[in-house]
């Protein structure tokens, strides 16, 4: 074994450990967000829960704000994974595509919904470019899954309308998660999903092109 082989062989485990440490810090932060809320999150508290030195946290996240941003990004990655799983295989019709999309969002809520009030409710800030691109990628997944059924969309610009529906479904789910405790709507997430999917399909399949042209 050459010195170069030794060097290359030792690099991957170090990178793997670094990834594992980062994932552990994010998981710990999520637990703390649920337990004590965003206002109580400190780098020291994260380090203590993860049983690492504070410097270990700062080496991966230079500030508390960047740590919380990473939690947001991880949550959106989970939504992307859910969408890929639901939309990977061809679906029978447009209604099936919309139902799969809304189901992925509800699955995401079941996994991450308790974090939303703490992570996305801590204040309004401009969306970083990389996260904006990630959100656009989520909408493209819906558009691509619906491509075989574009003929069912009765509106003039099918891609734009599908992107609008994807954005609206996701934003509506996030709004519900953030507000339902203070303002209950009397529905389960499954009841919300069914109603939302029905509205989306009705919007896409009803010819309103003349009315929309005036907007």
- Residue-wise pLDDT for 39-81, tens only, equals 899 999 999 999 999 999 999 999 999 999 899 888 888 899 9
pLDDT score of 39: 87
**What pTM was computed for the model?**
0.79
Residue matched to tokens 């992925």: 104
Distance CA 116, CA 202 (A): 29
Q: Which two tokens stand for residue 204?
A: 């896409």
CB-CB contact of 165 with 203 (8 Å):
yes
Q: Which two tokens stand for residue 175?
A: 């709004």
User: Nearest Cα to 94, choosing from 33, 137, 151, 39?
Assistant: 151
In the chain, what percentage of residues exceed pLDDT 90? 58
Domain boundaries, the chain: 1-62, 75-213
**How many residues make up the chain in this entry?**
215
pLDDT band at 8 (very low <50, low <70, confident <90, very high): very low
Mean pLDDT, the chain, integer: 86
State the Rg of the chain over Cα: 21
User: pLDDT of 117-153, one tens digit each?
Assistant: 777 665 545 666 766 777 788 899 999 999 999 999 9
What's the whole-number mean pLDDT along residues 21-50?
Answer: 93
Q: Which CATH number fits domain 1-62: 1.10.10.60, 3.40.250.10, 3.40.50.300, 3.40.1190.20?
A: 1.10.10.60
Alpha helices (H) along the chain: 3-36, 43-50, 54-60, 64-87, 94-112, 116-119, 129-146, 158-179, 189-205, 209-213
pLDDT score of 1: 45
Is 205 or 4 the better-scoring residue by pLDDT?
Answer: 205
Q: Which of 39-53, 91-105, 195-209 has the lowest mean pLDDT?
A: 195-209
Core vs surface per residue 126-154: b (16+ CB within 10 A) or e: eeeeeeeebbeebbebbbebbeebeeebe
């Amino acid at each position: 074994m050459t010195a170069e082989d030794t060097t290359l062989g030792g690099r991957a485990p170090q990178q793997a450990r670094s990834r594992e440490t980062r994932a552990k810090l994010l998981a710990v932060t999520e637990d703390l967000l649920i337990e004590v809320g965003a206002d109580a999150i400190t780098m020291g508290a994260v380090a203590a829960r993860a049983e690492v030195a504070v410097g270990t946290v700062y080496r991966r996240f230079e500030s508390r704000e960047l740590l919380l941003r990473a939690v947001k990004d991880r949550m959106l990655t989970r939504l992307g994974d859910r969408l890929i799983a639901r939309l990977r295989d061809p679906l029978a019709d447009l209604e099936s595509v919309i139902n799969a999309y809304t189901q992925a969002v509800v699955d995401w809520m079941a996994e991450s919904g308790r974090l939303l009030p703490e992570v996305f409710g801590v204040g309004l800030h401009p969306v970083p470019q990389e996260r904006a691109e990630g959100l656009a990628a989520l909408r493209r997944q819906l558009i691509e899954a619906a491509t075989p059924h574009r003929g069912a969309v009765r509106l003039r610009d099918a891609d734009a309308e599908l992107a609008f529906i994807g954005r609206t479904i996701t934003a509506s789910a996030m709004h519900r998660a953030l507000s339902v405790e203070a303002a209950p709507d009397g529905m389960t997430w499954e009841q919300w999903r069914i109603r939302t999917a029905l509205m989306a399909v009705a919007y896409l399949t009803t010819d309103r092109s003349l009315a929309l042209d005036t907007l």
